[in-house]
Amino acid sequence: MSDRLIAQSTYYAVFVVLIVLTLVTVGISFLELGQWHRLAGLTIATCKAVLVVLFFMHALYSSRLTWVVIAAALFWLAILIGLSMADYLTRMWLVY
């Protein structure tokens, strides 16, 4: 089995993109975006997580089994978040 090697320049490029996204996150934290503030932060965080998984964890050139495990983990995370939100949104909040 031949392993694909990612060029060192690719790692540097991904590192620079991660630093830029971190600076964008810090910059957005000073802006007043209202309800869009959380969505912007989560979108940037998701982009950074995807870059880390694909390049630094070598999932981009992994076997199909690795992709199945990643998909199963994301599915499990969706179940947990969905059930948590279902509980949170259906509570009767009483004001005393």
Cβ atoms of 44 and 25 closer than 8 Å: yes
Chain center to CA of 39: 12
pLDDT of residue 20: 97
pLDDT of residue 67: 94
Amino acid code (one letter) for 19: I
| CA dihedral over 11, 17, 18, 19, signed as positive or negative | positive
According to DSSP, residue 47 is labeled: H
Q: What is the pTM of this model?
A: 0.77
pLDDT of 23 > 50? The answer is yes
| 4-13, 15-24, 64-73, range with the lowest pLDDT | 4-13
Query: How many other C-beta atoms are found inside a 10 Å radius of the C-beta of residue 55?
Result: 19
Give the per-residue pLDDT at 39. Answer: 92
pLDDT of residue 43 exceeding 70, the answer is yes
